Amino acid sequence: MSTWDGGPFDAAIIGGGIIGAGIARDLSLRGARVALVEKGDFGGGTTSGSTRLIHGGLRYLEMLDFGLVRMDLRERETLLRIAPHLVRPLEFRIPFVRQSAWFRFKMRVGLTLYDALSYDRSLPGHRFLGNAEALADEPSLTKDGLQGAGSYYDAQVRLPERLCLENLIDAANNGAVVRNYCEVVAANHDDGRVGSLRVRDGGTGEESELRARVFVNATGAWFDRVEKTLTGSPSRRLRTTKGIHLTCAPMVNKANVLFSPIDGRLFFVIPLMGKTWIGTTDTDYTEDPANVSAAEDDIEYLLHSVEPFFPDIRRLPIYSTNAGVRALVRRPGSESSVSRAHKVEETHPGMISVLGGKITGYRAIAEETADVVCQRIGITAPCRTADLRLPGGGPAPAGEFGALYGSRAAGVEALAATHGRIGAQAVFAARHEFCRHLDDFLLRRTEYAFSADMGASVALEALDALGAEFQWSPSQRDEEWQRFRAAAERAHSATASTLPASR
Ligand SMILES: Cc1cc2nc3c(=O)[nH]c(=O)nc-3n(C[C@H](O)[C@H](O)[C@H](O)COP(=O)(O)OP(=O)(O)OC[C@H]3O[C@@H](n4cnc5c(N)ncnc54)[C@H](O)[C@@H]3O)c2cc1C
């Protein structure tokens, strides 16, 4: 079994979702020698199954979790500053439709408190609108029983996959060794401590030994499964729940916060990439998170919940569905009691674990984890991730590439003359963004798979460019096409049939 080049490492991180990526960036900026392994593609786990909001979370106010809301509102500001090309302000509306005076009073108090907790915000504060203004902006909203609307601001990250990626690019720029398609399959223990990990390369099947002074388990909803792999004993630290989204034809102009008439739960109807996203649900889920998908019941719950507010919903085509698995931290002593707050702890000697957390708070969670790791390995350098912009976070040129790559757009533009616009992005992804497969490019490096045709119109050009770059044989090209179809089917189940069976 081979060992890793670039070692020995100070820290080895398992999991390349947003939290693992944030930890890798933080530690490498402090001068630690870092390795990170991800069994699939970076950001392909729960990070890509989220609602894509950067928000304090109005719903957590109801749970009186002011500490969590405050942290996330502070982090919202930080992300608007360090990743302005990826995280953008978004206006939210709370339409009041046949609501009680008590409900409207609660919303007034809630929004006032939300503003107070984001006292350092750059975004506008809340206000209330009459029916005429609410309908002018949102013509599909029901007029029946409408009593005006509340308005407030939060933010949206269109591609959290790229937020994750840019953390890893920065980590690698600072010396970290980061590898996707590498799965941790076992741990070797020295004197009761984790001494090294056995890592299997998904491409070649080869196994290698990854040694480090400290290890970090940042595998999100996979945490209990990975713990069992590492220790051999069952672990039940998480409660995992499924959340789904529907994507349908464009219907809304603002992000709408609605309360389901079925159970009173808060959910969203949001404009995203030219379409409308509806979600999410929250139901217990115990299968492998990799297999999560929307069921008929989930879809019906959302449609039924939206109908009183947007009566046209049943007439609109649904393009696709997607799903993710939340990792909620079980409180000790009770089976069903869970917390939305994250936890960082040493789960066994040599292994620091992160449980729970949101995308919004990822940077702060990564800082807290890196503080613990640095204490163990004797690094005293302070965290710098709140002050340093992500690699694309500088001034961005106008146009399509600037919107996606920010200040890194010039690198893509330079390739466009020789490779065309799609080819340039594919080659850039292969050379500078750890892209290994066609589906990495269409689903997680760009927004193409989110278009109504799921990227079919650009897929062949991308396949040609990646095929030339990686020297794929005709059979490898065919495998890549089938791989992309299967991945697209999983990620956006309802529309997979729009993709041709072969190329
Ligand atoms: C439906 C839904 C909506 C959400 N909406 C929002 C939102 O709007 N805003 C927000 O802030 N948060 C939201 N969240 C929460 C947010 O998505 C997650 O908290 C966040 O993405 C978790 O990131 P992570 O890095 O912990 O997990 P993940 O992104 O799942 O990363 C963990 C990684 O570990 C890898 N892994 C597992 N086992 C191994 C192994 N053996 N070896 C190597 N790698 C391994 C997995 O492949 C995975 O990529 C939402 C969550 C859900 C489910």
Closest residue (by CA) to atom 35 of ligand 1? 15
CATH of 400-498 among 3.90.1010.10, 1.10.3480.10, 1.10.8.870, 3.30.70.260: 1.10.8.870
Residue 495 has pLDDT above 60, yes or no: no
Average pLDDT over residues 347-353: 93
pLDDT in tens, 264-321: 999 999 999 999 999 999 999 999 999 999 999 999 999 999 999 999 999 998 888 9
Q: Which of 376, 6, 27 is nearest to 194 (CA)?
A: 376
User: Sorting pLDDT into bands at 50, 70 and 90, what band is 451?
Assistant: confident
Nearest atom within ligand 1 for CA of residue 324: 53
pLDDT at 59: 84
pLDDT value at 257 more than 60: yes
CA 21/CA 490 separation, integer angstroms: 23
Report the CATH fold assignment for 87-158+239-328.
Answer: D-Amino Acid Oxidase; Chain A, domain 2 (3.30.9)
- Which amino acid, one-letter code, is at 99? Q
What confidence score (pLDDT) does residue 61 get? 85
For a ligand 1 pocket test, name from 13, 50, 270, 443 the mutation site with the most ligand atoms within 8 angstroms of its C-beta: 50
Angle between helices 456-470 and 409-432 (to 10 degrees): 70
pLDDT at 493 over 80: no
Q: CA-CA distance, 100 to 102, in Å (whole number)?
A: 5
Confidence of residue 169 (pLDDT cuts 50, 70, 90): very high
Please check the confidence at residue 82 and state whether its pLDDT lies above 60: yes
pLDDT in tens, 375-404: 999 999 999 999 999 999 999 999 889 999
Q: In testing the pocket of ligand 1, which one of 358, 362, 443, 444 has its CB within 8 Å of the most ligand atoms? A: 358
Mean pLDDT of 241-258: 96
CA-nearest residue for atom 48, ligand 1, is 45
- What residue spans define the domains of the chain? 2-47+161-238+332-377, 87-158+239-328, 400-498
Residue 443 to residues 155, 267, 400, 438, 490: CA-CA distances in angstroms?
Answer: 22, 25, 17, 8, 11
Angstrom distance (rounded) from CA 200 to CA 431: 23
Q: Residue 129: beta bridge partners?
A: 149
pLDDT reported for residue 339: 74
Alpha-carbon distance of 144 to 142, in angstroms, equals: 5
First to last CA, the chain: 38
293 with 321: CB under 8 angstroms? yes
The ligand 1 atom at the shortest distance from the C-alpha of residue 15 is 34
Supply the pLDDT for residue 5: 78
pLDDT higher than 60, residue 336: no
Asked whether residue 496 carries a pLDDT value surpassing 50, the answer given is: no
Task: Output the residue whose Cα is nearest ligand 1's atom 32.
Answer: 219
Q: How far apart are CA 200 and CA 185, in angstroms?
A: 7
Q: How confident is the model at residue 332 (pLDDT cuts 50, 70, 90)?
A: low
Quote the longest CA-to-CA distance of the chain. Answer: 71
Q: What is the mean pLDDT of the chain?
A: 93
Using pLDDT thresholds of 50, 70 and 90, give the confidence band for residue 498.
low
DSSP string, 397-419: -SSHHHHHHGGGHHHHHHHHHHH
pLDDT of residue 353: 97
Q: In the CATH hierarchy, which fold is given to the domain comprising 2-47+161-238+332-377?
A: FAD/NAD(P)-binding domain (3.50.50)
3-class DSSP state of 333:
coil
Assess whether pLDDT exceeds 60 at residue 425. Answer: yes
Between 332 and 467, the higher pLDDT residue:
467
Protein residues whose CB sits closer than 6 Å to any atom of ligand 1: 14-20, 37-40, 44-47, 49-53, 183-184, 218-222, 226, 243, 280, 324-326, 357-360
Contact present, 403 and 446 (Cβ < 8 Å)? no
Question: Is the Cβ–Cβ distance between 25 and 232 less than 8 Å?
Answer: no
Q: Residue 333's pLDDT is what? A: 57
Nearest to 301 by CA among 260, 270, 264, 258: 260
CB-CB contact of 16 with 36 (8 Å): yes
| 153 CA from centroid of ligand 1 (Å) | 24
Strand pairing of 34-37 and 177-179?
A: parallel
User: Span 405-426, mean pLDDT?
Assistant: 97
